[in-house]
Structure formats: C-alpha cells, structure tokens
Amino acid sequence: MAEDAIAALEARIGHAFANRALLTEALTHSSASHGRAGAITYERLEFLGDRVLGLVICEYLYARHTSDAEDGLAPRLNALVNRGACARAAERADLGPAIVLSRAEAQAGGRGKEAILADVCESVIAAIYLDAGLEAARAFVMRFWASELEGASRARKDPKTTLQEWAAAQRRDGPRYEVIARTGPDHAPHFLVEAQVSGLERARGEGGSKREAEQAAAAALLKAQGVDD
C-alpha cells in the first residue's frame, strides 16, 4: 500500500502503527501470495484476533450485565463475535478497499465477501494488539462494535431460559430434559434430548453437545405452543 493510503487507513481505524508491517500482514489474503513458499498472510493474526475480540467483549458484557448468569451472557457474546458482526465492523472501518487480494479474487468480489471481511477485521484487531497492547485493541472494538453492543443489550433470551420463564408463568412444572440417545465417537458426539413440561406433549431436539440439543428441544416445545423464543 502507498504511504498515503496507509495513513488514511490508520486515521479511519483510529490507530497509527509503530510497526506497519503488522498492518500489511493483517490485510493480506492468502490469494495474494498463492504459490509463494513461506508467504505471510493474515491467517495467524486472525487466530489471535478472534481471542482478543472474545476477551474484550466478554469483559464488556461481564461489567455491563451484572445481573446476568452464564446463560444470559452467552447469547449476547455469540451475537457479538460471529462472522456477521465482524464483517459489519469491517465495513464500518472501511477495511475492504485496503485488503490485499489476487486479481482473480478481487474480480470475484472478494473485498465485499462476508468471510474475508470478518477474517480481516479479526486480524486487524490482533495487529493493533501486538503493536500497542490490549487497551488499543479495546478502543478499536468499542468504536466499531458500538451499534452491535447496543443491540446486544436487547438480545433475545435463549430457548431454555424462555421456556423456563414461560412454564413458570403458566404455573407448570418443569422444564426437564432427558438424554434419549448419544451417538457418534467421543470427539464428535451427537445427542438426542427430550424436553418435558407438565401437561404438554414432549418435544425433542438434536445437537453436537448436550446443551445444544437441550436448546433445540426447548425451541421445539416453545414452537409447538406458539411461543416465540
């Protein structure tokens, strides 16, 4: 990137790099280095940035939502660190034009692809973290996740919480969950779970973990009752 382009990007993201090589690495897609042995791309930084982002968001939620238990915090976290949220943050920071792509990938619309934008956003977070520390990375996240954080304050409850509250309001016992079947190897199990609330037909759900299957079963039972989870 030209010097003026780098300076313009630094102004947009609110961070002037002491080590601009980190920024270049954070913006370089694998397609740009295809066939070059040992070429540096953003993939390692993306790995780190995902964890830095998770820490920043977890700390924010922990401090902001003091009355929420884990079941209340987890849906908010999932809503803030997924691919879509990262891609939207990248768009707010206008990272797309700065991404280094092969000509073919650029012509295929790579600068606007959600997956690439999300990856680059995480890699830029890591680059800022390595360049200036956690507080600098936090400043980037707070700036470009501002609207996402506001939305997370209104995040919907997970199906198990909704079902529990609904059952209590209806003066029904439960819910209770029973594992009906567990299949698959230890490293990739699959669960079939049944949700029960007194006086209602049971509902089943499946998932790759017991918790995931319980959530699916709760959602199925809510749907059967016409309740929006």
Which of 50, 131, 148, 229 is catalytic? The answer is: 50
* CB-based contact 85:14 (threshold 8 Å): no
Active site includes 50? yes
Instruction: List phi, psi (to 5°) of 192.
Output: -115, 120
Which of 122, 158, 194, 214 is catalytic? The answer is: 122
Cβ-count burial of 102 within 10 angstroms (0-12 exposed, 13-18 middle, 19+ buried)?
Answer: middle
Alpha-carbon gap, residue 229 to 226, rounded angstroms = 9
Q: Sheet containing 190-196: which strands, arranged edge to edge?
A: 176-183, 190-196, 203-207
Alpha-carbon gap, residue 32 to 41, rounded angstroms = 8
Longest distance between any two alpha carbons in the chain, whole Å: 70
Active site includes 122? yes
DSSP 9-60: HHHHHT---S-HHHHHHHTB-GGGGTT-TT---THHHHHHHHHHHHHHHHHH
Which residues are catalytic, by number?
50, 122
